[in-house]
Amino acid sequence: MARVLVGLLWHEGNSFNPLETLEADFSLSEGETLLRDYRGSETALGGILRGLERQGFDPLPATAARARPGGPVERAFIERYVDSLVECVRRERPDAICLDLHGATTATGLPDVEGHLLTRLRQEAGPDTPIAVAADLHGYITPAMTAAADIITGYRTNPHADMGDTGERAVRLLARLLDGERPKLTSLRVPMLAPGNDWTSKGPLADICARAGAMRADPRIADLSVFNTQPQLDVADTGQTVLVYSQDENLAAHCARELGAMLWRHRTEFTTVLADLDTTLAGKKPGLLALGDFGDRVLGGAPGDSLYVAETTRRDFPHLRTLSFVHDPRAVDTAVQVGLGNTAEFAIGAAVSSHAFPAIRPVAAHWTAKALGRAQYVNRGPYMAGMKSDFGEHAVLTDGNMTVVATTRAPNAHDPAALGLALLDLDEIDVVVLKSGMHFHLSFSAICPCVSVATPGFATDRLDTLPYDSARPVYPLDDIEWSSEAP
């Protein structure tokens, strides 16, 4: 029975969000707690654990560290986390390593966290211990990562409906590595960012993903992934990345070049088609409507402190009852001081975003504290079903038709279970505003219409409004020439 070390580091960086992600923002699971927390979950780690069981392998649980996307992680925490994994390898001497890594984690002064982590693990484990990684489709895949890992396989859907499947696939590939197979890697970077319109079921990626799927049907291809890197990362050599694993290097190079050429040919089509907020609200039909606050989406690494949608709705459509989530620890503290059931005048939101985006402003009102407590629930899914969400302490605040759930952690809310925090029935809400651009569609579409709307914020699709430096030159920020046939 092969003994396989398993772990997780899940954080998607946004280089423009000035709020550092702290150790306190992470949910940590170790040892048997990791197994209990992730078994049965629709995450890549959940899929890894299912895959290990099906292969008859023995999981050696290390540490799972999960945080909502956001600004760079504090460096000291990352170093302690990496040290803990290295120590686990040193102590357990596993036969193999299989990890769930986002792929776009950044830390203060360390843009390539996963490359650093995998390099350290390879140094400790030695050259012969197989290392397989299940990564997010939006991973920033670096040479350091591919040099240290034997296999990096990515999600194939966006929104991510196949996280668990990707974990299981990583284990199947790992089993082949343990049997002695060592497919060679061909990697191709396309110097372009995809600011939006990156659904894999429609738009430019539909044809690209279909072609990639046809290539995978060739038994000579061990694995093939296309990574549409998180566009709000200002890092060197960013871009779309194609990874092809095969013993046939000529075939792998042909596949990589063809997919790279397709990405480049469609580069002008990766423009988000977002709905106008006023038009959407004006045409609203009876019943609940879920809106994705695209610019301030926490799933894109924004701070989640904007009430732009709720404020616009109150001003222009005051008859609509809104429920919003906002990151504002000060508002939670104020609500506690005001006391449950009491009312006071104060402002909520925009502590960070207002400095960069004048349209995002604090919302002052006579707020009544309707509920106080811990913002925890279990996702119903299908996106990340079974995972516990924890947004810290929260306060439910109301003023007229506006209800706000203020939280001490950025509210990565994308699941209908989040509505329970507000203590409202569905027929008491006309519009729920979620800090998500598209993933909320997976979990909300069964209960209501879902629309992603254009809003300001650090996760905006208007990349030209963000101060890129290290990433340049890169399309569409720069007018560059590129060919997939170039050496």
Q: Where in the chain is the domain with CATH 3.30.310?
A: 183-272
Fold of 183-272: TATA-Binding Protein (3.30.310)
Degrees to nearest 5, angle at CA 81 with 14 and 73: 20
- Give the span between the Cα atoms of 416 and 3, in whole angstroms: 38
- Give the span between the Cα atoms of 170 and 134, in whole angstroms: 6
Query: According to the 3-state scheme, what is the secondary structure of 90-153?
Result: HHHCCCEEEEEECCCCCECCECCHHHHHHHHHHHHHCCCCCEEEEECCCCCCCHHHHHHCCEEE
- Give the span between the Cα atoms of 423 and 375, in whole angstroms: 12
Residues 6+ apart with CB under 8 A from 35: 49, 59, 61
Q: Are 98 and 55 in contact (CB under 8 A)?
A: no
227 phi/psi in degrees, rounded to 5: -105, 115
Question: What tens-digit pLDDT sequence spans the chain (487 residues)?
Answer: 899 999 999 999 999 999 999 999 999 999 999 999 999 999 999 999 999 999 999 999 999 999 999 999 999 999 999 999 999 999 999 999 999 999 999 999 999 999 999 999 999 999 999 999 999 999 999 999 999 999 999 999 999 999 999 999 999 999 999 999 999 999 999 999 999 889 999 999 999 999 999 999 999 999 999 999 999 999 999 999 999 999 999 999 999 999 999 999 999 999 878 999 999 999 999 999 999 999 999 999 999 999 999 999 999 999 999 999 999 999 999 999 999 999 999 999 999 999 999 999 999 999 999 999 999 999 999 988 898 999 999 999 999 999 999 999 999 899 999 999 999 999 999 999 999 988 999 999 999 999 999 999 999 999 999 999 999 999 999 999 999 886 5
Closest CA to 25 of 402, 324, 407: 407
- Give the span between the Cα atoms of 309 and 162, in whole angstroms: 30
pTM of this structure: 0.94
- Give the span between the Cα atoms of 302 and 461, in whole angstroms: 12
Closest CA to 92 of 62, 50, 53: 62
Q: Which residue has the tokens 């029935």?
A: 425
Instruction: Starting at the earlier edge strand, list the strands of the sheet with 450-453.
Output: 343-348, 363-378, 388-399, 402-407, 322-327, 431-434, 289-293, 450-453
Fold of 1-182: Rossmann fold (3.40.50)
* Rg of the chain on CA atoms, in Å: 22
Report which DSSP code applies to 462.
Answer: -
Instruction: Starting at the earlier edge strand, list the strands of the sheet with 184-190.
Output: 184-190, 240-246, 221-227
Q: Are 168 and 48 in contact (CB under 8 A)?
A: yes
Q: Where in the chain is the domain with CATH 3.40.50.2300?
A: 1-182
